[in-house]
Structure 1
Amino acid sequence: MFKKLPGDEARSLVSTTPDTAVVFRPAVVQTPAIITILIFLGRLIVGLVRTTWRHPVAVGVLAVPAALCWLYGWRVALVTATIPLSVLIPWALFDRSTFNAWIGWRLLAWWRLIWVYRRHWQPVMMISGLGRHLRGRDCLPRLLKVTCTSWADVVTVKMLTGQAVKDWADRIEHLAHGFGAVSCRVTVTRAGRLLLTFPRCDPLVVPLPAVSVPDTPTVGPVEVGKQEDGQPWRLKVHGTHVLVAGATGAGKGSVIWSAIRGLLPAVRAGLVELWALDPKLMELSFGRAIFGHRYAADPEECADLLDEAVSVMQKRAARFAGVQRNHIPTVEDPFILVIVDEVAFLTAYQPDRALRQRITAALATLTTQGRAVGVGVLAALQDPRKEVMNIRNLFPDKIALRLDESEQVDMVLGDGARDRGALADHISPIPEQGAGIGFVRLETSPDPIRVRAAYVSDADIRDMARDLVRGEAA
């Protein structure tokens, strides 16, 4: 029994080939020309209004001279266009930042929208698998907006119904190469909408000098470098624990010493104590005077120092119980930052099993109970595997510098971090180009942030130790 459909009747169709499906030819409805014209005009008007609303500067640059040329001739249009150009050109030459903020980036966004993204949108979406061909037409995600900054294009996209963020995160390399960028990062703004960030240049390619020592004591987020968007990178150390992972020469020392440098005024004021564990006897030994008697290099001494930190933490917890829930640094109860340079040497490579278990238990206790009473841990390691560092998930904030393997990125920053654009395994191994560059994933946000830590030289460290000793002596 055939279902009745519009078009040819089923009884009049005959198939003489066995196992061949009968094809029905649908009826063709003739649309009046006036309706087609009205639909076209409506879409044209909506498109013009949308373009004018989103790109007023670009539309004005093109529309005003064209209108003047049409109404008064090309001479009037040329004279009229010369007046604003005589103002805009000096503005762009002598005050580039404000010119770009008001006009430059808007014009660039319009140009890249037309010439790069809208021009290649359909083939990139279809070839990458983010678009679908259904019922004879291409269903594509909507390209909503393009915004340009000094270093990247930020593309706002509305996903197709039924798509997931992972569908886009799995295709960041397709998107990057399709639109001529070196990388792509995916950020969720709200349900159904994404931000795709395509860098045009690398603002972190030049090494950064050491950040100036703050004038006032602070235990809040300390400036340790610069973010990719040009903003200062401030690392939170009080009220959290930080894990820094990176291969040899990746710049772990830059992060550690920049954090110490930012805390020096608070150390002088007695609001912060720095406890250092330096099993390699290389990194933290340059500033040994900064740590005083809170410095340990021998594994057994490191275990004793960790046990002492646990004891201080537990005594504070007993005094704070029922009185206060958050720690406020004072001279009587200063913030204690336990710095461990190569934590894997103590937790995995230590041949003494009893000592290894003791150190691991102390670190686990500090990272699970220390935040509320003002005891933080800043640990660095090279190998982030679970069997090497089985308590890495106890660190809320994580930093991934240059890593050897792509799988290690998610080991450090959490599942899905590399799919969102944290390509820590692609960072250059050349020290001048890649040392100190990494990705940060904070407890409060799943989106990785690309940063570069400032380089603190040996001379800077010696000056820091000398100035601290002089200040305490005075």
Structure 2
Amino acid sequence: MFRKLPGDEAHHLVSTTPDTAVVFRPAVVTTPAIVTIVIFAWRLLAGAVRLLWRHPIAAAIVAAPCVLAWLYGWRVALIVATLPVSALVPWALFDRPSFNAWIGWRLLAWWRLVWVYRRHWQPVMIISGLGRHVRGRDYLPRLVKVSCTSWADLVTVQMLTGQAVTDWSDRIDHLAHGFGARSCRVSVARAGRLLLIFPRHDPLATPLAAVPIPEEASVGPVEIGTCEDGTPWRLKVHGTHILVAGATGAGKGSIIWSTIRGLLPAVRAGLVQVWALDPKRMELSFGRPLFGDRYAASPADCADLLEAAVAVMQERADRFAGLQRNHTPTVEDPFVLVVVDEVAFLTAYQSDKGLKLRISAALATLTTQGRAVGVGVLAALQDPRKEVMNIRNLFPDKIALRLDESEQVDMVLGDGARDRGALADHISPIPTQGAGVGYVRLECSPDPVRVRAAYVSDADIRAMAGQVTA
């Protein structure tokens, strides 16, 4: 039954004894041809039934002309087949949004499924390490569904048993390049299933003009830009604290001024007060009439202004104790938004240790106790390291604009944010392409959202200041 083989054939076989010098080949049993034919026919039939079950509409579209041609001739089949096309073409030309919503994106999703994802699924999974090749058989994550939006492909995947989300988030570069996308983001759809987002183009590539000033007075959320999916970016300012981090020229001023612009009607109505700390004396000085006597530029004045905000917060806390737990903006108790531009200059780079301690203590007090009584902090900085900003974890909502290093992304947005697709270190340094573009991680969601803030020009700021002065 066994025979010894030459040594140059040993690498094709598996030894059955501990002695590697002796290699055996088990007996080969010839399979009858009828068995092979039956197995092939069964697999072909099962595949056809599975295809009809999963894609009944597509199968009906293909089968209907064939049945008509067989029953009534090819002319009738041609006429019936061209009627839907003659109706769809005008629809696509004159009402593209509704056509895409009902048909266009579905057709594109089918094409991307067949030509891109299913075609390259096996090699990408194996090479990236997300699939396994065991004893001659490939075990691959299951491609569940592909859907398309105006800017991205949404791919639903069933993970292999025993896989974790980090196994996928650590390989977003492999997935993006394997399927020909610029980037990839991973989010959890449900237990065992992931949603992979592959952008087809960048809808935030062009700068945005300043958002029109709202007609009604409101404390938010205020619209300050656009999300990547085309929906308005509304930033919550009342009842939270916001930290904005970004390199020089990343667009921190766009977020600050767009926020103030959205709150302008409430400022004019007396429901909001904006307190400005401008140690650089550049960004917030354009709108100085908006702040009145609540503007500070020198470190000493900034410390005094912050301590005054702490005094307002503590006075409200004494009055609200035992009566109310949430703040409702009124003329008597307006919402106070403390805007700090380049907070690191006041907390880390300040040479006067006394002022540094006063400012750090005031900011820590506001960020820990101010939310419930209607005092919020909007702080911007360039360097997000812990030794520069040691209270960054006290800000529930964080925004990461263009950053210099990949490690800084997790410093701002939290651990794992970059692995989930927040590639803030890849944002273009060209102002027209990357200024105002960033990623937001809200307190209520671990998944980062790509956004772009609208650009508020100097003329817009002066017009806003003129309205408040008038």
1:308-347 paired onto structure 2 within 5 Å: 308-347=308-347
- After superposition, the Cα gap between the structure-2 partners of 1:14 and 1:90, relative to the gap in structure 1 and judged at 3 Å, is closer
Match of 1:425 in 2: 425
1:87 maps to amino acid? A
Residue 42 (structure 1) shift: 2.7
Deviations 1:212-250 (A, max 9, x none): 000001112000000000000000000000000111110
- CA distance in 1 between partners of 2:20 and 2:421 (Å): 54
- After superposition, the Cα gap between the structure-2 partners of 1:64 and 1:250, relative to the gap in structure 1 and judged at 3 Å, is farther
Match of 1:106 in 2: 106
Residue 460 (structure 1) shift: 0.2
Deviations 1:142-168 (A, max 9, x none): 000000000000000000000000000
TM value normalised by structure 2: 0.93
Give the SS at the match of 1:372: coil
Deviations 1:271-319 (A, max 9, x none): 1110000000000000000000110001010000000111111111111
Match of 1:6 in 2: none
Question: Which of residues 28, 52, 55 is equivalent to 1:51?
Answer: 55
- After superposition, the Cα gap between the structure-2 partners of 1:15 and 1:304, relative to the gap in structure 1 and judged at 3 Å, is closer
1:118-157 paired onto structure 2 within 5 Å: 118-157=118-157
Give the SS at the match of 1:451: strand
Identity percentage of aligned residues:
74
- CA distance in 1 between partners of 2:196 and 2:20 (Å): 52
Residue 28 (structure 1) shift: 8.6
Residue 43 (structure 1) shift: 3.6
Match of 2:169 in 1: 169
- CA distance in 1 between partners of 2:25 and 2:415 (Å): 49
Residue 66 (structure 1) shift: 4.0
Give the SS at the match of 1:336: strand
Does residue 42 of structure 1 match 2:59?
A: no
Instruction: Check conservation: 2:245, 2:252, Cα contact below 8 A.
Output: yes
TM value normalised by structure 1: 0.92
2:309 maps to amino acid? A
1:377 maps to amino acid? V
Match of 2:368 in 1: 368
1:147 maps to amino acid? S
Residue 87 (structure 1) shift: 1.3
1:50 maps to amino acid? R
- CA distance in 2 between partners of 1:37 and 1:136 (Å): 23
Match of 1:247 in 2: 247
Instruction: Check conservation: 2:242, 2:378, Cα contact below 8 A.
Output: yes
Match of 1:277 in 2: 277
Give the SS at the match of 1:145: strand
Deviations 1:381-439 (A, max 9, x none): 01111111111111000000111111111110001000000001111110011100000
Give the SS at the match of 1:44: helix
Give the SS at the match of 2:372: helix
Match of 1:300 in 2: 300
RMSD of the TM alignment (CA)? 2.0
Give the SS at the match of 1:87: helix
Match of 2:73 in 1: 73
Match of 2:234 in 1: 234
Match of 2:7 in 1: none
2:48 maps to amino acid? L
Residue 206 (structure 1) shift: 1.1
Stretch moving more, 81-90 or 140-149: 81-90
- Segments of structure 2 that go 5 or more residues without pairing to the other structure are 1-14
- CA distance in 2 between partners of 1:173 and 1:347 (Å): 37
Give the SS at the match of 1:263: helix
Match of 2:182 in 1: 182
Give the SS at the match of 1:383: coil
Give the SS at the match of 1:262: helix
Residue 37 (structure 1) shift: 3.4
2:452 maps to amino acid? R
Match of 2:391 in 1: 391
- After superposition, the Cα gap between the structure-2 partners of 1:84 and 1:307, relative to the gap in structure 1 and judged at 3 Å, is same
- Segments of structure 1 that go 5 or more residues without pairing to the other structure are 1-12
2:55 maps to amino acid? T
Give the SS at the match of 1:197: strand
Match of 1:219 in 2: 219
Residue 14 (structure 1) shift: 8.8
- After superposition, the Cα gap between the structure-2 partners of 1:18 and 1:249, relative to the gap in structure 1 and judged at 3 Å, is closer
Match of 2:3 in 1: none
Match of 2:97 in 1: 97
Instruction: Check conservation: 2:16, 2:23, Cα contact below 8 A.
Output: no
Residue 92 (structure 1) shift: 0.5
- CA distance in 2 between partners of 1:81 and 1:19 (Å): 69
Match of 2:11 in 1: none
- CA distance in 2 between partners of 1:464 and 1:75 (Å): 69
Deviations 1:358-394 (A, max 9, x none): 1011101100111111100000001111111111111
Give the SS at the match of 2:329: coil
1:357 maps to amino acid? L
Residue 70 (structure 1) shift: 4.2
